[in-house]
A = this chain, B = another copy of it.
Amino acid sequence: MALPVSPLAPKTYVAPPAIAGVHFATAEAGIRYKGRTDVLLAVFDQGTTVAGVLTRSLCPSAAVDWCRQNLGGGVARALVVNSGNANAFTGMKGKASVQLTAEIAARAVGCDISEIFLASTGVIGEPLDATKFDGVLERLNGELAAEPWMEPAKAIMTTDTFPKLAEAKVEIDGTIVTIAGIAKGSGMIAPDMATMLSFVFTDAPVAADVLQALVAEHNATSFNAITVDSDTSTSDTLLAFATGKAAIAPLANLEDPRTKAFGDALKNVLFDLAMQVVRDGEGATKFVTVNVTGAVSDESAARIARSIADSPLVKTAIAGEDANWGRIVMAVGKAGQPADRDKLTISFGEHVLARNGERAPEYSEDAATAYMKSQELSITVDIGLGDGKATIYTCDLTHGYIDINGSYRS
């Protein structure tokens, strides 16, 4: 399917630099799509640590099960990603398929299968024929390069309308440490638990447990703070690989201020990629930041913000450029969290629409309506009960979403 590029797509793409110790190649394995790459092999030098978060869906894909098992080891030599088939809900066939894929990859790269990480994205329920990787991965292992990152970013796309890349650099002990990241995701995006497919690579030497702690921490405010359609994928996977090639002493504990500096850079990359996923939300025409303040706790604020961001009535009103704050009240009311109607304050951008449980005296329908025409919108709700706060990022719900999802599989 050829979808028009999202109007919220970045105007230019970054071109992350080569990451020492990371090599990759892509190919057309013919899994589902024609005329485009659909398989990525990334190979890591020895000594690469790995960390990740995976979907908490109780119906995870076979590849997610595989990664969960191998993450305990903390070391990685290769990553194989295919698009077009999620290898989810494929039973024993799915397990056999990931086993065979890992064996082919381990043989090609020359490592143990416990060092292979796998991710699959696409249609759910179709068996994935892993014999299609036979020969392909071996060939890719002979074509490895360290740039351009655009190639792997494109190979993992499904209904994405643009490739998603991010980079960050941080100076540690006088040495520049680099992080490069890619992601895919457009629909089935409500990573309340983990994330869509995203892979981040760095040359920093980071102990696996430290990397795991950093990934979990910063995932919470990036991928876990976005929603396109409230539907959580069976395949959500975020993996971070650290090759250790940068000439600095290892980042081996969380208290090290250098770890903090690296973590901030990692956070920037994850946040950047997560925002790109929202901007490629299926059918999206508006990028919306939902801020909730004054809730009884941060968790309560997040639940209220998510209730607003997931509401089809709120999202269609935004699509229609209608400052329909009554639907915000509805979404606060249905969140099941402590709230007092008569203490709510609701703002769209700088415009206060409601205060103390009723329309604000200074409310101007014309000004609010003019604001709704912006491509980037901010909705803020102050609950007036405490100090809890949270931000969730989302998009509008348009005819484009119906078009894409009424015909995606067919």
Contacts and interface: CB of A to CB of B under 8 A. Distances in A.
Interface in A323-360: 324-327, 329-342, 344, 354, 356-359
A344 to B, nearest CB: 7
Contacts of A405: 312-313, 316-317, 320
A244 interface: no
Contact of A406 (B316, B326, B410): B316
A92 interface: yes
Contacts of A124: 326-327, 329-330
B410 A322 contact: yes
A89 B342 CA distance: 8
Contacts of A125: 325-326, 329, 354, 358-359
B59 A232 contact: no
A108 interface: no
Contact of A89 (B326, B335, B401, B409): B326
| Copies of this chain, tallied across the complex | 2
Interface in A118-148: 123-127
A14 interface: no
Interface in A353-396: 354, 356-359
Contacts of A234: 329-330, 333
B402 A341 contact: no
Interface in A170-205: 187-188, 190
Given A124-B327, A399-B402, 7 more contacts: A58-B337, A187-B313, A231-B331, A313-B405, A316-B401, A316-B406, A317-B406
Interface of A: 55, 57-60, 86, 88-94, 123-127, 187-188, 190, 229-234, 310-313, 316-317, 319-320, 322, 324-327, 329-342, 344, 354, 356-359, 397-399, 401-402, 405-410
> Nearest 10 pairs between A and B by C-beta?
A124-B326, A320-B406, A91-B358, A59-B333, A57-B333, A316-B405, A232-B334, A91-B357, A125-B326, A89-B329
